[in-house]
Structure formats: structure tokens, C-alpha cells
């Protein structure tokens, strides 16, 4: 890590990825809710740090109470209701992105903080993909319903200001889409549902979760070495590298495991309960 972890006893800022870390298929274990509340009661700051936009965060995920959140993989950040970052794709890049996706009739969602936007013709396939993914949860496809409730079928998508795109199915590889869109766009694995044909997330090159973490801790007046980041996905790499302590969920990608200071069990094992205790947060 580039920042030396501080001693236990300081006020810490904890940043939690959502899918695969805090929640499992959109369902939050009760132990994780208790751990978040206990850490905050102990004086620490706990924030979500997710690839999802605000509009894709239903009440069951937010119910524990948080001091703020980083959304859209670092393009958006807020603390205590104060918006610190809200970056959208520049108009030209957004138009090229939508144009390339539509040229291949891809199934996708344009992600903004206020809502999700999708091609009307793709809604049936989008629902099928999300339902199939979230049906793997013991609770059934409740996670898909929460996402689909925020989706607005939109014909004039070129006029929508958005921060990121979740592609659930494309006839061509994501790398080809990136090439066709041209400079300024990058791709990472889809963190919500990746069972589709050529799935991934398109985002503005150069933006990462670390940007949101840095903005949040600067606002809170907490030193970088007093930050803890916990995640499991490809878009968590920069966040774990930035934090004073980086925690990878067991089974994460090798590149994430390589930079992590420690590991934690996944949400089905309520891994954050033991991790928070070991980190002196409870």
C-alpha cells in the first residue's frame, strides 16, 4: 500500500463496495447491518463505494445508515448530503458511446444519479437478464425488481447526461465497442450481472473509486492512512491501492488479492462482521 495504516483508536473512514462485498445479489446480511451501525456508534465513518449510481441503490441497501457514498465507480461522491463530485460523460463522448451501442443493438443501461435509462426495445431482454442473475439469490430476484423500478425506457438517449454505462449483452466484444467509441472511454467487468453475451461497464477513462474516496476523506478531514477500503471487483483496484488498509473479499481477482493487506469472507458468511472486529472498528 502507498499509505501506512494508522494505529487502532483513530477515527477511521471505511469504504464498502456493495455487490459481492456488502450485499449478496442485492440482499444485505443482517450481520453487516449491525456491523455498520456498531462502527458508526463507535465514532467511525462508514461509506458505500460502489459502481452503482445512486438511482440503483434501493432502500434495503441504504437501510443501515451511512455517512456518505461514492457512486458510479468514483464519478459521484456525497457526504452528509453534500455533493462533492458529480461527473458525467462529456456530450461528444456520450453521443459516441450511445451511437456505438445502438449500432449493435446492445442491451444496456445509461446510469445517472437521478435515474437509469435504457432503449425501449431492449427492456424485455434486460428484464430477463437481470431476473436470471438475481434468481441465484436465496431470496429470489428481488434485486432485479429494485433496479428495474428505476429504469426509464428512453427514446432520446443522446440527450441524457450520464456517468457510466452497464452493458448486459452485446453482439460484439466490449473491446471492439471501446475501439469504435474512440478516446476517453474504458471498460471493466460488469459488477451487477455478467451472464450476458459480451457484458461490461463503460466509464470515462481516468476516473476511479479512488477519486471519490479522496474527495470524501478530504471533506471529512480524515487522513488517507486512516482509510479502510473493502471490495471484490475489478473496479475496486484503485480504491484498495489508495486506502491505508485494503481488504479483498476471498475469491477476488488475483490482481486485487495481490495488493490487499488482508482478506475477508464474502457476504454469505457475513464476512464484514469479523473484518470490522479485527480492524478494531467495533
What's the pLDDT band for 134 if we cut at 50, 70, 90? confident
pLDDT in tens, 154-212: 999 989 999 999 999 999 999 999 999 999 999 988 767 666 678 899 999 999 999 99
Cell of 137: 439469490
> For the domain that residue 142 is a member of, what is the CATH number?
3.30.1240
Crossing angle between the packed helical segments 271-278 and 30-41, to the nearest 10 degrees? 20
Choice between 137 and 266, residue whose per-residue pLDDT is larger: 266
Reply yes or no on whether the pLDDT at 132 is more than 90: no
225 lies in a domain? Answer: yes
Question: Are 169 and 98 within one domain?
Answer: yes
Last residue of a domain, one of 189, 204, 219: 204
Question: Are 222 and 194 within one domain?
Answer: no
Q: Contacts by 87-92 with C-beta closer than 8 Å and gap 24+?
A: 87/163, 87/204, 87/207, 88/112, 88/161, 88/162, 88/163, 89/161, 89/162, 89/163, 89/184, 89/204, 90/184, 90/204
Cell of 72: 458510479
Q: Region 114-128: what's the mean pLDDT?
A: 95
What's the pLDDT band for 145 if we cut at 50, 70, 90? confident
What's the pLDDT band for 228 if we cut at 50, 70, 90? very high
Question: Are 166 and 121 within one domain?
Answer: yes
pLDDT in tens, 66-96: 999 999 999 999 999 999 999 999 999 999 9
Last residue of a domain, one of 172, 204, 236: 204
Choice between 138 and 16, residue whose per-residue pLDDT is larger: 16
Could you give the percent of the chain with pLDDT greater than 70?
93
Range of the domain at 144: 91-204
Count structural domains, the chain. Answer: 2
Last residue of a domain, one of 188, 204, 220: 204
Q: Is the Cβ–Cβ distance between 235 and 192 less than 8 Å?
A: no
Cell of 238: 484503485
pLDDT in tens, 14-52: 999 999 999 998 899 999 999 999 999 999 999 999 999
Cell of 6: 494508522
Q: Is the Cβ–Cβ distance between 235 and 51 less than 8 Å?
A: yes
Give me the sign of the Cα torsion angle 232, 205, 89, 74. Answer: positive
Reply yes or no on whether the pLDDT at 8 is more than 80: no
Three-state secondary structure string covering 219-244: HHCCCHHHEEEEECCHHHHHHHHHCC
**Average pLDDT value for the chain:** 92
pLDDT at residue 3 in the model: 44
- CB count within 10 Å of CB 2 equals 10
Amino acid at each position: 500500500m502507498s499509505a501506512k495504516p494508522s494505529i487502532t483508536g483513530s477515527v477511521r473512514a471505511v469504504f464498502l463496495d456493495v455487490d459481492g462485498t456488502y450485499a449478496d445479489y442485492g440482499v444485505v446480511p443482517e450481520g453487516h447491518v449491525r456491523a455498520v451501525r456498531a462502527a458508526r456508534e463507535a465514532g467511525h465513518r462508514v461509506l458505500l463505494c460502489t459502481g452503482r449510481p445512486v438511482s440503483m441503490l434501493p432502500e434495503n441497501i441504504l437501510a443501515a445508515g451511512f455517512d456518505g457514498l461514492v457512486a458510479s465507480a468514483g464519478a459521484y461522491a456525497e457526504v452528509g448530503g453534500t455533493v462533492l463530485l458529480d461527473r458525467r460523460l462529456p456530450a461528444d463522448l456520450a453521443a459516441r458511446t450511445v451511437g456505438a451501442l445502438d449500432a449493435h443493438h446492445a442491451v444496456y443501461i445509461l446510469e445517472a444519479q437521478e435515474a437509469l435509462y435504457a432503449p425501449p426495445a431492449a427492456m424485455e431482454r434486460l428484464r430477463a437478464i437481470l431476473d436470471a442473475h438475481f434468481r441465484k439469490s436465496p431470496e429470489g430476484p428481488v434485486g432485479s425488481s429494485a433496479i428495474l423500478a428505476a429504469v426509464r425506457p428512453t427514446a432520446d438517449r443522446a440527450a441524457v447526461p450520464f456517468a457510466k454505462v452497464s452493458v448486459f449483452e452485446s453482439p460484439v466484444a466490449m473491446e471492439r465497442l471501446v475501439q469504435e467509441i474512440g478516446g476517453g472511454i474504458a471498460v471493466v467487468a460488469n459488477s451487477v450481472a455478467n451472464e450476458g453475451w459480451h457484458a461490461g461497464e463503460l466509464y470515462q477513462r481516468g476516473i476511479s473509486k479512488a477519486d471519490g474516496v479522496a474527495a470524501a476523506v478530504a471533506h471529512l478531514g480524515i487522513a488517507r492512512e486512516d482509510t479502510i477500503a473493502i471490495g471484490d471487483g475489478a473496479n475496486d483496484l484503485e480504491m484498495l491501492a489508495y486506502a491505508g488498509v485494503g481488504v479483498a473479499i476471498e475469491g477476488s481477482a488475483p490482481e486485487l488479492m495481490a495488493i490487499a493487506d488482508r482478506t475477508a469472507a464474502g457476504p454469505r458468511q457475513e464476512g464484514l462482521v469479523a473484518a470490522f472486529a479485527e480492524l478494531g472498528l467495533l
